Chains A and B, each alone.
Chain A
Amino acid sequence: MLKYLIALAVLVAAAPSARAADPAEKTVRDAVHSLLPLAVIDKTVKSDLPGFYEVVISGQIVYVSADGKYLLQGSLYDVARKQNLTDASLAAMRAQAIAKLPAAKEIRFDVANPKHTVTVFTDVDCPYCRAFHKNIGQYNALGISVHYVMFPLDIHPGADKKAEAVWCATDRNTAYTAAMNGRDPGNATCANPVAETKALGIQLGINATPTVLAEDGTSVDLARATSPHGLLAELDRLAAARTKAASVAAR
């Protein structure tokens, strides 16, 4: 996170002319700060909506008019394509981030030649995370690789310590499964990525566990995927929608 901030600061310092080339961007940032003085702006880019900028604030997307007068918060739809552009931007941002997450910062339950890979932000003390993990054998049997990212919630005191203890076990996968079955993981400590993955989750606007992301960054609606077969069907459906969208875009 710190490294990221420094890199950003360097970029900004090194490219003053690029920034000056688009004065609207400063107007937009100033407008956001006049409304939300403490907002940390991750990104500003021109939106598909003419005359507006897309602004990412701690994983939340808002739109600000280039003149700095209006701020839109919610969902922006492309009517002709029947697409929620806000969700699409959020998914793209998440896809990029999870693609960059190395195996060394996840606990992976992989299969050979997976049909699908999901990235799951998880908390050892969250009941739905435990319920989700009960079926890990079946997800794998159906060709779904599952990559867990530790995201202990503040509402579960001590969950961060448990996440660390799982991480520091000799066999992380076994320790994770045991912890999800309610076994106390102990209190081992070691160098671990929990604080970093938690910060990443917050930056990606993740606010609940389990959050299950498909490869394209789309958040899987678990109400539509209540069983392993349901999850497979939902991932198939998302992949098909993606292929269709890509072919429409190519035309």
Chain B
Amino acid sequence: MYRFALFVLLAMSALSASAADDPKAVVTTAVHKLAPNAKIESVAPAPLAGFYAVVADGHPVYVSADGKYLIEGHVYDIDARRNLMDEAMSGVRKRALDAIPESKRITFSPPHPKYHVTVFTDPDCPYCREFHKQIADYNKLGIAVDYVLFPLSIHPGADKVSQTVWCSKDRNTAFNEALAGKTLAPLTCPNPIAEITATAGSIGVNGTPGIFADDGSQLGGYLPPQQLAQRLELLEAPKPAH
């Protein structure tokens, strides 16, 4: 990717003298000046005029179009009470979530789902258990829940339990039992836990449950069924122009 970007840069500067004025190239060069090995995942004009939103190595930054300034942290739209930097991450999160195939998820879905969420979950996390206790209610509200196993290192043994769930013949039943606190006889087999953990790291999931919509926006943290449904409904409503 980096090599490709560099190639494009070189090609552009060869083609025309004004290539250096291309803001995307200017912005990319600026990021590489500060972080030579950063892998640039996306560059797009930011809602803040005169800036580009860049995602590099899974982290969002803003860079001024002239390449002189870089901002790391948060950018708030004060009137709208929105964290724009967080929104810059949505695209990256969407791609990361899209890259987790169905075969690496444990799905609890109603027959005709209206909504779909991906939930990073840890069998030993209290709020993950609270969430799953109400799985029937989420489903009843039309929400299909795709769990991905993300045992946290602060819960010793949660990785073994996750693996046992994954390696069970009936994963959904084993997941129900584990989240209800039942001790399962340990099983081992090839599993996607390490891969999911890496994905979680690359998109900044730092707690469980981590609930994401398909467009990459983070919805929570634990949310009760009604509230989660409301958040999903809001997400589908047309956004005010800005």
- Residues of chain A at the chain B interface (Cβ within 8 Å): 31, 34-35, 48-49, 51, 63, 65, 68-80, 82
Tell me if A72 and B78 are in contact (CB < 8 A): no
Contacting residue for A79 out of B62, B68, B73, B75, CB 8 A:
B68
Tell me if B70 and A79 are in contact (CB < 8 A): yes
Alpha-carbon separation in the docked complex, A49 to B66 (Å): 11
Tell me if B67 and A79 are in contact (CB < 8 A): yes
Tell me if B68 and A80 are in contact (CB < 8 A): yes
- Asked if B74 CB lies within 8 Å of chain A CBs, one says yes
Contacting residue for B69 out of A65, A70, A71, A77, CB 8 A:
A77
B32 to chain A, nearest CB (A): 10
- Measured as residues with beta carbon below 8 angstroms from the partner, the interface class of chain B is 20 to 34
- Asked if B179 CB lies within 8 Å of chain A CBs, one says no
- Asked if B71 CB lies within 8 Å of chain A CBs, one says yes
Alpha-carbon separation in the docked complex, A34 to B71 (Å): 22
A207 to chain B, nearest CB (A): 17
Alpha-carbon separation in the docked complex, A75 to B62 (Å): 11
A70-B48, A82-B33 given; A76·B78 CB < 8 A: no
B241 to chain A, nearest CB (A): 15
Tell me if A82 and B76 are in contact (CB < 8 A): no
Alpha-carbon separation in the docked complex, A79 to B74 (Å): 18
Chain B 70-91, CB-CB to A under 8 Å as 1, else 0, gives: 1111111111010010000000
Tell me if A35 and B33 are in contact (CB < 8 A): no
Tell me if A75 and B78 are in contact (CB < 8 A): no
> Using Cβ atoms and an 8 Å threshold, which residues of chain B touch A69?
77-79
Alpha-carbon separation in the docked complex, A65 to B46 (Å): 15
